[in-house]
């Protein structure tokens, strides 16, 4: 196992990947787990979170702070966490602007990221196709079923916000499942995005408490699967990723014109029909460029992995 990168450039890369994860977590239809896979930090992230266990607590209580810090891969978690927080804060308003004004290239960009990730991750599936295909199809079916759900509205109560935090963070850890879209389905997305943009601390703290519990529970399950069923897990992950692509088709219209559309889960159409039905420019050239950029960034990110500690 290679030693972890301690250079300033290496730390900066981890921080930037955290920003990308934070930005993606604020977009319905895109998973921070997806970006973690794209950026080649997914396994390390899961194992680092999993290491927040009894052994870490024992080291902390005995005053062995440095040993505890190393046990939990503290530098990596700190830099990635700071990056994610920065990305969420930066994107709270920016993502709303992009979704409102440039949804077509934004969807195409994420399709590029995800399609390249599926292509690269096929190497992690080492057993025969006849055994991997059912798992991949199961993952794709799960994401498609969730992405075609109907969202609900209303101002959530405190207990409900806590539950939303648990469920959303669990989805964020699974590539292809969007925590933001889960919040949209649960009716808490716009409320939480507004709370984040205005730094409304009470709902944010309640939501984050649920996230902490959810991430500790889900990370243990995913770490166990990666350790004991690595190929099977990645076959399922490839399915999750592939299943999220149809929901991100760039040209979408709403079923009911009087109702506002979501970023995903609307009716998909061809570019020509999109221009006719919506009166919007399909931005075909920009979508193709965004797709190419997404593909290129994924391949570049996978060529620059974050070394394991």
pLDDT per residue as tens digits for the range 195-254: 887 788 888 899 999 988 888 888 888 888 878 887 888 888 888 778 878 878 899 886
3 is a domain residue = no
What pLDDT score was predicted for residue 263? 62
Q: What is the rounded average pLDDT of the residues 273-301?
A: 87
247 is a domain residue = yes
pLDDT band at 309 (very low <50, low <70, confident <90, very high): very low
Q: What is the rounded average pLDDT of the residues 53-71?
A: 91
207 is a domain residue = yes
117-139 CB burial, b ≥16 within 10 A, e <16: bbebbeebbeeeeeebeebbeeb
269 is a domain residue = yes
% of the chain at pLDDT higher than 90: 17
Say whether 189 sits in a helix, a strand or coil.
helix
Q: Is the pLDDT of residue 143 over 80?
A: no
Q: What is the rounded average pLDDT of the residues 38-55?
A: 87
Q: What is the rounded average pLDDT of the residues 255-259?
A: 50
253 is a domain residue = yes
309 is a domain residue = no
Q: Is the pLDDT of residue 94 over 80?
A: no
Q: Is the pLDDT of residue 102 over 90?
A: no
pTM (two decimals): 0.64
Picking from 202, 210, 262, 192, the residue whose alpha carbon sits closest to that of residue 26 is 192
- Show the domain range for 59: 8-303
Strand partners, 267: 253
270 is a domain residue = yes
Q: Is the pLDDT of residue 256 over 80?
A: no
The total number of structural domains in the chain stands at 1
What pLDDT score was predicted for residue 128? 63
What pLDDT score was predicted for residue 287? 95
Long-range contacts of 205-213 (CB under 8 A, 24+ apart): 206/158, 206/161, 206/162, 206/165, 207/161, 207/162, 207/164, 207/165, 208/165, 209/162, 209/165, 210/161, 210/162, 210/163, 210/164, 210/165, 210/166, 210/169, 211/165, 211/166, 211/168, 211/169, 213/165, 213/166
Q: Comparing 48-57, 88-97, 257-266, 295-304, which segment has the lowest mean pLDDT?
A: 257-266
With a CB cutoff of 8 Å and minimum separation 6, the contacts of 179 are 25, 31, 32, 168, 169, 170, 171, 172
Length of the chain: 309
64 is a domain residue = yes
Average pLDDT, the chain: 79
Helices (H), 148-270: 158-172, 179-186, 189-198, 201-228, 230-244
What pLDDT score was predicted for residue 258? 45
What pLDDT score was predicted for residue 88? 83
Of residues 66 and 171, the one with the higher pLDDT is 66
């Amino acid at each position: 196992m290679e030693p972890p990168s301690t250079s300033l450039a290496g730390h900066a890369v981890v921080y930037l990947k955290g920003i990308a994860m934070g930005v993606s977590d604020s977009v319905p239809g895109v998973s921070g787990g997806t970006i973690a896979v794209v950026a080649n930090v997914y396994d390390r992230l899961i194992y680092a979170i999993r290491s927040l266990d009894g052994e870490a607590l024992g080291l902390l209580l005995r005053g062995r702070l440095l040993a505890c810090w190393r046990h939990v891969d503290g530098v990596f978690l700190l830099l990635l966490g700071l990056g994610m927080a920065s990305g969420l804060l930066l994107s709270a308003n920016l993502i709303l602007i992009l979704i409102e004004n440039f949804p077509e290239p934004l969807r195409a960009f994420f399709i590029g990221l995800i399609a390249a990730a599926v292509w690269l991750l096929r190497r992690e599936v080492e057993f025969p196709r006849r055994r991997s295909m059912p798992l991949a199809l199961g993952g794709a079916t799960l994401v498609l079923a969730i992405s075609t759900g109907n969202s609900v509205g209303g101002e959530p109560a405190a207990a409900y916000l806590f539950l939303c935090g648990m469920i959303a963070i669990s989805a964020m850890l699974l590539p292809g499942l969007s925590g933001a879209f889960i919040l949209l389905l649960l009716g808490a997305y716009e409320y939480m995005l507004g709370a984040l943009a205005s730094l409304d601390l009470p709902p944010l703290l309640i939501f984050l408490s649920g996230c902490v519990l959810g991430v500790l529970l889900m990370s243990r399950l995913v770490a166990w699967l990666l350790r004991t069923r690595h190929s099977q897990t990645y076959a399922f992950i490839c399915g999750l990723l592939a299943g999220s692509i149809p929901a991100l088709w760039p040209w979408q219209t709403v079923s009911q014109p009087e109702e506002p559309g979501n970023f995903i889960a609307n009716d998909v159409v061809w570019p020509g029909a999109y221009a006719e039905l919506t009166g919007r420019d399909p931005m075909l050239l920009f979508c193709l460029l965004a797709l190419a950029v997404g593909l290129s960034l994924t391949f570049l990110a996978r060529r620059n992995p974050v070394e394991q500690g």
